[in-house]
């Protein structure tokens, strides 16, 4: 299988690249910057045999494994080829339907129950564009093309380029959120910790895998460390919904255990992943749900 097709856009002094495989955003270079602020593993596969490790994968119709281990982790949208609808001087629009992912014995294409004649049909459309000031806008629209209500989750799995060991690195903006820590310190094998995120910034001092549930939109900030500026991530849902956010870094041992992850890659990345994942969402037949993300950089 050949390498995936890549489309490059340059506008207002900024650049991004995206591929039709998975509708996957690969790079984003803000105005007046020479380097990418997204992180991508140097050893990820480029033959479309599995999802790309880095950039911004699209997670749909699930985050993680919701129902079973048979369904692809994070859903099927990031594993399929999307159809290019339009490419302009500042934007790219792609689409895919769940029908394109149907397989014998699993007509739903993944998370949804594998019953013969699964009733759910979804169309995903994403538009990635650059604003007049060079910020990155990423809009994902889900339409339920079936006649029954459809269970789903959707999320932007952002990998950002940072200096995770630097003293001035940290993720902020999630104070007051309900926090679920899947890696509680000193409690190995004893489940998850629940609480409320305090005012302090989130740093990498071990494996980080935390889920934050709030009320309304997400506005998170990432101080990249090493004096290399700050990234802001603003995510809203239309119609309005409570947007959650996951913060993840595998740290030393887990990074070494992943075949498509550089052994020391954890030092250069942080995942800040906003989405609709506070339980299964429901979308009425014929209706749409939009998740919009704007990424900005300041030095």
60 CB-side CA count, 13 A: 32
**Which residues are catalytic, by number?**
157, 273
CA R_g for the chain = 19
Cα–Cα distance measured from residue 236 to residue 242, given in angstroms and rounded to the nearest whole number: 8
CA 127 to chain centre: 14
Pairing of strands 208-213, 178-181: antiparallel
> How many angstroms separate the Cα of 103 from the Cα of each of 1, 24, 124, 185?
19, 22, 18, 42
Cα–Cα distance measured from residue 129 to residue 92, given in angstroms and rounded to the nearest whole number: 6
Q: Is residue 185 a known part of a binding site?
A: no
Q: Is residue 53 a known part of a binding site?
A: yes
Pairing of strands 83-87, 269-283: unpaired
Q: Is residue 187 a known part of a binding site?
A: no
Would you state the structure tokens that stand for residue 292, as one six-digit string? 């919009």
Cα–Cα distance measured from residue 70 to residue 243, given in angstroms and rounded to the nearest whole number: 27
Q: List the binding residues for substrate.
A: 53, 73, 78
């Amino acid at each position: 299988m050949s390498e995936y097709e890549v489309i490059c856009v340059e506008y207002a002094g900024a650049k991004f690249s995206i591929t039709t495989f998975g509708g996957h955003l690969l790079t984003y270079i803000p105005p007046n910057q020479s380097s990418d602020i997204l992180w991508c593993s140097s050893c990820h596969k480029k033959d479309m045999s599995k999802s790309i490790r880095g950039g911004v994968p699209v997670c749909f119709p699930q985050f993680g494994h919701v129902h079973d281990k048979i369904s692809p982790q994070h859903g099927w949208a990031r594993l399929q080829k999307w159809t290019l609808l339009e490419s302009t001087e500042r934007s790219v629009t792609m689409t895919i339907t769940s029908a394109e992912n149907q397989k014998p014995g699993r007509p739903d294409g993944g998370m949804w129950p594998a019953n013969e004649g699964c009733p759910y049909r979804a169309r995903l459309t994403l538009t990635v564009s650059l604003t007049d000031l060079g910020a990155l806008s990423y809009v994902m629209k889900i339409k339920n093309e079936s006649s029954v209500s459809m269970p789903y989750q959707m999320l932007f799995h952002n990998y950002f380029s940072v200096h995770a060991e630097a003293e001035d690195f940290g993720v902020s903006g999630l104070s007051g959120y309900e926090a679920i820590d899947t890696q509680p310190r000193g409690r190995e094998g004893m489940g998850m910790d629940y609480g409320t995120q305090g005012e302090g910034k989130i740093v990498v001092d071990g494996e980080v895998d935390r889920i934050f549930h709030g009320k309304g939109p997400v506005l998170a900030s990432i101080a990249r460390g090493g004096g290399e500026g700050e990234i802001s991530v603003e995510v809203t849902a239309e119609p309005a919904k409570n947007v959650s956010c996951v913060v993840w870094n595998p740290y030393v041992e887990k990074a070494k255990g992943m075949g498509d992850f550089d052994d020391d890659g954890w030092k250069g990345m942080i995942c800040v992943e906003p989405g609709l994942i506070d339980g299964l969402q429901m979308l009425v037949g014929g209706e749409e749900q939009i998740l919009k993300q704007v990424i900005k950089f300041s030095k």
